[in-house]
Structure 1
Amino acid sequence: MRIRDRLGRLRQAYAPHEHRPLGGYLAAMGTYATVAAGLAAVARVTHRPVPDRPATSDVVLLSIATHKLSRLLSKDAVTSPLRAPFTSYDKPIGSGEVMEQVRDGGSATRHAIGELLSCPFCLAVWVATGLTGGLVLAPRLTRLVATALTAVAVSDFLQMGYAVAQRAAHGPDHGGRTS
């Protein structure tokens, strides 16, 4: 029995009333495993030291940077051209972010990529892996990039807090926009 036939039967048994692109998910998982194995191989070949325990400051820095880069890639209006082949615009959701839907039709892989690129939670695993690999292979550059992403994330929260404080100070009839 061919793999495609098995996947079709498995998909039908798994989610008979909903489109679940299991083959696309397998392709994404295979790609992720290849990337992770590639990072590990490069670290080994280049004799880069892998810490027994990452420093708490690195974990915090990469956590915040992962959050920001995941949202930037998956929701920011400016990065929508990266997602456009796999998603379609739905509506703005505020703070420069947009809601998008996975495009109908196309291959299971295309559908899975669309889900990955439009979901900050899904994309965070990939981003964290890349940043963690970067911390081993190019720690100074990775910390610099992560610091910039962290600064933007903190700035975003400060901007939102400022907007809330301004609305509270001026009341709901202030017009809703802040500058």
Structure 2
Amino acid sequence: MELTIFQFAIMGLAVFRVTHLIVYDKITEFLRAPFFDEVEEIDEAGNSEVFLVPKEGKIRGWFGELLSCHWCTGIWTAGGLYGLLIYFPSVANPLITIMAAAGVASVIETVIQKWIS
């Protein structure tokens, strides 16, 4: 299947949004939790910061590394969405459209927040 430039752009926006959803958004924190340990550090001023560190082990460690890297997760997300588009287009097309629209909305929101602050 060959993508037009428009379809490629829509796919790119969908991959961006799904990747962000998986790697950063609070709503999917429960998916990431089994693969990370929380490490608390206190700086010189006495402020506490919590860092997520991938767990040790082959499977959990691998998924932890994957989920801590938006570049890596983006590749797998692109492959998954493209595979879904090839094999199940009736499912993929609405999903990709919705996620692309959400991606555009998140970019617009970020620009507006930067502009007003």
Q: TM-score, normalised by structure 1?
A: 0.55
CA distance in 1, matches of 2:39, 2:103: 24
CA distance in 2, matches of 1:90, 1:72: 23
Give aligned-pair identity as a percent.
25
Q: Deviations over 1:120-174 (max 9, x none)?
A: 111111111111111111223212111111111111111111112222xxxxxxx
Match among 7, 10, 21 for residue 72 of structure 1: 21
Matched, 1:101 2:53: yes
Query: CA contact under 8 A between 1:87 and 1:118: conserved in structure 2?
Result: no
Which residue does the alignment assign to 1:137? 87
Query: Which of the two has higher C-alpha Rg?
Result: 1
Matched, 1:63 2:63: no
Instruction: Mark the runs of 5 or more structure 2 residues left unpaired by the alignment.
Output: 41-50
Instruction: Mark the runs of 5 or more structure 1 residues left unpaired by the alignment.
Output: 1-50, 92-98, 168-179
Match among 65, 87, 101 for residue 115 of structure 1: 65
The size of the alignment, in residue pairs, is 108
Aligned-residue CA RMSD in angstroms?
2.1
Alignment of 1:23-38 (within 5 A): none
Quick one: which amino acid aligns to residue 153 of structure 1? G
> Which structure has more RCO (C-alpha within 8 Å, separation ≥ 6)?
2
Q: TM-score, normalised by structure 2?
A: 0.80
More strand by share: 2
